[in-house]
Structure 1
Amino acid sequence: MNKLPKKVSAIIANMSPEERSEMIQRIVSLRKNNLHHSQQEFANYCGISQSYLSMLESGRKPLTQKAFKKIVEASGVSSIWLLYGITSDSFMEKSPKEEVNNFVNWFQSLPLDDQVKIAQSIKHASIFFQSHPIIGS
């Protein structure tokens, strides 16, 4: 089973509107493209109401910790993927130096505005995780 961060709601609350929107889009993509479910089928599958799912997908309701847990557990997706879009495939078996070089090259290829946003997100995540330990760590 996935180990869920203790306070998913706090992580989500600290996300930018764009990050929250991307997370919701991952849920929509999971529902439509991977599971091929209607809203009603996915809601039943996860144990949430269809009306809540509809409001969540349209941005009228926030993703709660309880709903997050139900979606992760029912679908089997990684909590890290749902929160940040990171998959285990993102971590290939390379040396740490190769990984760092790949990241630096990728990061430097981005527009400056995106580099600033990523740096700010890393800073916020670092501050958050220093004060909010993860279950199982």
Structure 2
Amino acid sequence: MKKTEPQRILSVAWVPRSPPAPVPGFVRILDQTLLPRKIAFIETTDPRRIWEAIRFLRVRGAPAIGVAAAMGTAAAAQNVRARSGAAIAGAVARVASYLATSRPTAVNLFWALERMRRTAAQNAALSPPDLRRRLVEE
């Protein structure tokens, strides 16, 4: 008889829409407010949904909050209609500032958002598709 591996459920994950290409994609967050009764996910590229998930503890744990915020900025960058990497970098900075308001005392949140801001700024010379891909890689 063949053993089946237990299914691994991640609290936060990046899900590519067309694997193996990482972009476009979306953020999948396990809604921890429903555990243990139900397993449900929030799937989004909308920074408002990421903000809500962080604010209302749908995602829990300092590392997971930071990862959700970082992935949220990468997802939001996909929604920006831009002709330059610099325009995307500006949008990333605005989204990061917005997401920072979700949990004003969360150290990992600020660390992750600053890392995404810095990555976007340092790579602003890239084309929009390349910068979007770089943000997902980060």
TM class by shorter-chain length? under 0.3
- Greater RCO (CA < 8 Å, at least 6 residues apart): 1
Question: Where is the helix percentage greater, Structure 1 or Structure 2?
Answer: 1
**TM-score normalised by the chain length of structure 1:** 0.26
**TM-score normalised by the chain length of structure 2:** 0.26
Is the radius of gyration larger for structure 1 or structure 2? 1
Question: Where is the strand percentage greater, Structure 1 or Structure 2?
Answer: 2
